[in-house]
Amino acid sequence: MAAALARLDAPLLFQETAEDGSVRQITAAPGDWGDVVLARKDAPASYHLAVVIDDAAQGVTEVVRGADLFRATDVQRLLQHLLGLPAPRYRHHRLILGPDGRKLSKSLASISLRALREDGATPAGIRRMVGL
């Protein structure tokens, strides 16, 4: 049986908005990633593939996330290009740390936007907190 394998090796330029609001050119360089898994027998789609399809289906135009996910943008942007999907604008903010010095995260049950709003946080205050 032939292996189902395709390798991506074509770089792609895309834009990223930096924390200071400036726009910079980024090169998605597949050769830097190793082999990125897009699907397996036990998982019909990887996070990378699922998120680009979901974002396109939902009409997402802006993606704002932590700087720890910056490298994932290369893979996702290239998949959007290859699949002919629209590319949202990307912005990566500095990581937001809790009192214990760990990044705020759903998996750690960190404080949510809902809880911040309920505690009286303003939209401007939340934007300042994430570096926007």
Active site residues: 106
Calculate the CA 49 to chain-centre distance.
12
Cα separation, 85 vs 109, in Å, equals 33
